[in-house]
Structure 1
Amino acid sequence: MTRLLDENRRWLVLGTLFLAAGANVGSSNYAFGLFVEPLETTFGWSRTAISASLSFTAVGALASPIIGRLMDRHGARPVLVISLALMGISFLVRPAMTELWHWYGLSFLQFIGISGITVLPAGRLIPIWFPSSHGRMMGITVAGINVGGITIPFIVNVTLGASGWQAAYVAMGVIAVALAALALLFIRERPPDAQDDSAGAAQDVISRMSGLPLSAATRTRSFYAIVGALALGNFGHAGVFPQLIPHFTELGVPATWAAITVTVMAVAGLISKPTFGYLSERMTARRAMMLTLSGQCVGSVLLVLSPITAWAGLPIFGVSMGAHSALMPLLVQESFGSRHFGSIMGTVTMFTLIPFGLAPIIAGRTFDVTQSYTLAYLGFAVLFVIGAAGLTQMRIRGENEFV
């Protein structure tokens, strides 16, 4: 049995990361809205008070450099296991809530380790286990986000209808804890040809990695080019995507048809992640990211010209935006290596979440003043071009993952 596990270890690692990504985003983002009305009915809390719990994503962003540094020091497995366990516990305890502060405390527990579930461990482990195809495999791994965005809300919706919101939270908690157990069982931090499973094996892998430390990385133009590109690219996810349905209805598209935009985006994202992961192996992650930012620009412009061009621009924008999460860790590794990937990626993540606070306000204010999202979308298109241009200042390391 042990031999069979070792022979298939890299696929078990990929599968665990794929499922973890889906559970993380599916439960934290996609399924959140399904609980708002039941919680409002049960406790009498306002929707503003319930939705305010999402602000704890900022806590997760602030914690990401710390989590990244811990991963650099101790490896990805303990970080992934603990982060999944914290999320699972936060869900399992929610049926016992009686006060609003319980809701906030458990939301804090859920989000504090959120960066330790998807991008950080995947960005570290995939190049170790798939050194010659890490772009494609990174794309497949983060495609779990799209799969989780479909399956987790379905599970929650069925459980809600059958047994109530308490049982739905228990179901999500069981999934997260089960994934923590899988991570403990399957995740190993060593190259595929290594045979040592001792406690020091992960540290041995770490010692053989190459790359700049955070202090040196922050003194390079590449660091700020990457931060700028990723932050500006996130205006698509934070500013364009959430307004698609109301934007299409403003263009005169019937509401039932406008709702299809979400499905188109999900399918486009599912296709784009492995596709651009593969392209990153052929043209570098930098050029692939420049292509996606350019695609977001073109898609955003087409979205505002007319209903016909909007439908043409939607898949272009969806494919381009969907590839963003797959290319993020590849971009950082391409410039700075993997030895200190956790601390660098964690710091980059902290800054690139700023658009999630700004973009909704910009889009909302633009609509209030002009009764249209056109100016906001065009403004975001300009930001995408600036982000792509900034990547011309990024430099690529000329050495292998392991030395």
Structure 2
Amino acid sequence: MSDPAAGPSEWRRGWSVVLGSAGMAGVGAGLYQNLSSLFMPGLQEVTGASRGAIGASAALGLLGALAAPFIGRLADRIGAVPVIVASALSLAVTHLWLSLLSGGLWQFQIAVALLAVSAPGMSALVYGRLVATRFDRHRGLALAFATSGLSLTTVLLPGLFGWIIATWGFRAGYELLAVLAVAIGIPAGLYASRQAGAIVRPARRQRSGKPPSWTNLLFWRIAGATMLINIGTVGMVTSLALIGVERGFGLPAAGLLLSAYGASQIAGRIVMGALIDRFAANRIAAAFGLASTAGFMGMQWGVDALPFMLAAVFVAGLLNGAEYDLVPFLVSRLFPIENYSEVFGRLYLFSLLSGGIGLAGFNLLHDWTGAYAAPLGVATVCMLLAATLLYTLPPLRPHAQLNPSVSS
């Protein structure tokens, strides 16, 4: 484990790493995921497919997520910079490909597969290790601020993208995503890497531990909780604007639900980050899981009033926001730091695949039932099960690293 100076000196030495990481995260593949419901009408028009068919196609395309563990191992061995640059360029090319769709779901499937390959290199798989090597006492909060870059763009950009898509069409929205990936993602990622470069070395030069085996029970509990969270929350956020339209709010007002979701991610990550630095992480995570369960119940059975729905979406999204802070924190504490990216890459694989299940499941259940009540009910159960799994994790003491061999 790294041994940087504790307290305020951590922030003096590491704030630039957090800032660069947040900028990169804010324009990564997660931004499109959070805004994807704004693109759905245009995709339906071009492909002539239903929401369920597009969602299922996206899920098949996410087989590209199988590359995540290998990207993680590559980042551990050759360093962050080549991975960040290649991922950002790949993401930009993918968005441009989407802007040129001319019909046929196979084109969309190829794009989603490329998105899944591009996503890990601009995620906590890379920047989580950069932050973890700079922070110990405030690691949870530092990771929270870094991962909040995506939450911030999710709050600020839906209105802009909604206006661009309404004015110039969905293709212009994809073109803007491509520009953001290159113009902001690459400089921000390189800045974070350069600021952390004095203490981050490729693992091939300092390999003192091994990643956990695939039979490690602790790994599978974290993976199971991650999958359940993503099935519920990714399915919800990728349909959120459409859920609002179904409730009779109209597209502009429904877009506010995306901003509420983004705000919940910021709050969830920062509050979770501060709390897990001070208290047992498993209990804090379980409490967030129960709160999110209540939020999904409110979305399913609550009144069709915009203020109520905004509040329900905010509460439902809390654990998803926290999970992107919690999982990097757990990996950095429970497993050898020199294997961080490979371990996180394995978890990221399950995160992406379960996100595809949630995306396809929400849309298919909507097509079958004609409403979003059934998928929201499934999401409620997923969040409750995730809270239970999180509670069974080891009650990490603040600032402590557990023996990497722990498997129960």
TM-score range, shorter chain: 0.7 to 0.9
Give the whole-Å Cα distance in 1 for the aligned partners of 2:36 and 2:368. 30
* Residue in structure 2 matched with residue 62 of structure 1 by the alignment: 66
Give the whole-Å Cα distance in 2 for the aligned partners of 1:204 and 1:69. 9
* Residue in structure 2 matched with residue 276 of structure 1 by the alignment: 272
Q: Which stretch shows the higher mean deviation, 381-390 or 393-402?
A: 393-402
Report the TM-score, using the length of structure 2 for normalisation.
0.75
| Counterpart among 217, 223, 228 of residue 221 in structure 1 | 217
Post-superposition CA distance 1:36-57 (Å, at most 9, x none): 777888xx65456988874575
| Counterpart among 211, 236, 239 of residue 235 in structure 2 | 239
Give the whole-Å Cα distance in 2 for the aligned partners of 1:360 and 1:322. 17
* Residue in structure 1 matched with residue 17 of structure 2 by the alignment: 13
Give the whole-Å Cα distance in 1 for the aligned partners of 2:388 and 2:58. 32
The 3 A distance-change label for structure 1 pair 204 and 190 is farther
Deviation at 1:267, TM superposition (A): 1.7
Q: Which stretch shows the higher mean deviation, 10-19 or 369-378?
A: 369-378
Do residues 388 (structure 1) and 387 (structure 2) align? yes
CA contact (8 A) 1:292 1:324 kept: no
| Identity value in percent | 24
**Partner AA of 1:325 in structure 2:** Y
Do residues 86 (structure 1) and 95 (structure 2) align? no
SS of 2:201's equivalent in the other structure is helix
Deviation at 1:330, TM superposition (A): 1.4
Give the whole-Å Cα distance in 2 for the aligned partners of 1:96 and 1:247. 27
Deviation at 1:117, TM superposition (A): 0.4
Unaligned runs of 5+ in 2: 1-10
Do residues 119 (structure 1) and 115 (structure 2) align? no
**Partner AA of 1:121 in structure 2:** V
Post-superposition CA distance 1:142-172 (Å, at most 9, x none): 1111222245556656666888877765554
Deviation at 1:116, TM superposition (A): 1.0
Do residues 136 (structure 1) and 141 (structure 2) align? yes
Do residues 302 (structure 1) and 298 (structure 2) align? yes
CA contact (8 A) 1:212 1:340 kept: yes
**Partner AA of 2:121 in structure 1:** G
SS of 2:317's equivalent in the other structure is helix
CA contact (8 A) 2:16 2:195 kept: no
Deviation at 1:341, TM superposition (A): 1.5
Q: Which structure's relative contact order is higher, taking Cα pairs within 8 Å and 6+ residues apart?
A: 2
CA-based RMSD of the aligned residues comes to: 4.2
* Residue in structure 1 matched with residue 189 of structure 2 by the alignment: 183
Give the whole-Å Cα distance in 1 for the aligned partners of 2:82 and 2:401. 26
**Partner AA of 1:64 in structure 2:** A
Give the whole-Å Cα distance in 2 for the aligned partners of 1:292 and 1:15. 26
Q: Which stretch shows the higher mean deviation, 95-104 or 319-328?
A: 95-104
* Residue in structure 2 matched with residue 22 of structure 1 by the alignment: 26
The 3 A distance-change label for structure 1 pair 55 and 189 is farther
CA contact (8 A) 1:303 1:311 kept: no
* Residue in structure 1 matched with residue 6 of structure 2 by the alignment: none
* Residue in structure 2 matched with residue 332 of structure 1 by the alignment: 331
SS of 1:316's equivalent in the other structure is helix
Report the TM-score, using the length of structure 1 for normalisation.
0.76
The 3 A distance-change label for structure 1 pair 364 and 152 is closer
CA contact (8 A) 1:24 1:114 kept: yes
Q: Which stretch shows the higher mean deviation, 321-330 or 389-398?
A: 389-398
SS of 2:136's equivalent in the other structure is coil
Give the whole-Å Cα distance in 2 for the aligned partners of 1:159 and 1:373. 27
**Partner AA of 1:327 in structure 2:** L
Larger Rg: 1
Give the whole-Å Cα distance in 2 for the aligned partners of 1:103 and 1:57. 8
| Counterpart among 254, 259, 265 of residue 263 in structure 1 | 259
* Residue in structure 2 matched with residue 292 of structure 1 by the alignment: 288
CA contact (8 A) 2:272 2:326 kept: yes
The 3 A distance-change label for structure 1 pair 111 and 391 is closer
Q: Which stretch shows the higher mean deviation, 328-337 or 255-264?
A: 255-264
CA contact (8 A) 1:236 1:321 kept: no
The 3 A distance-change label for structure 1 pair 46 and 130 is same
Give the whole-Å Cα distance in 1 for the aligned partners of 2:65 and 2:261. 25
CA contact (8 A) 1:77 1:189 kept: no
Post-superposition CA distance 1:158-203 (Å, at most 9, x none): 66688887776555434323332443355137587x5xxxxxx613
The 3 A distance-change label for structure 1 pair 141 and 57 is farther
Deviation at 1:376, TM superposition (A): 4.2
CA contact (8 A) 1:135 1:281 kept: yes
Aligned length: 384
Deviation at 1:222, TM superposition (A): 0.8
**Partner AA of 2:314 in structure 1:** P
Do residues 77 (structure 1) and 81 (structure 2) align? yes
SS of 2:194's equivalent in the other structure is coil
Unaligned runs of 5+ in 1: 1-6, 195-200
Deviation at 1:91, TM superposition (A): 4.5
The 3 A distance-change label for structure 1 pair 140 and 190 is closer
CA contact (8 A) 2:300 2:373 kept: yes
Deviation at 1:385, TM superposition (A): 2.6
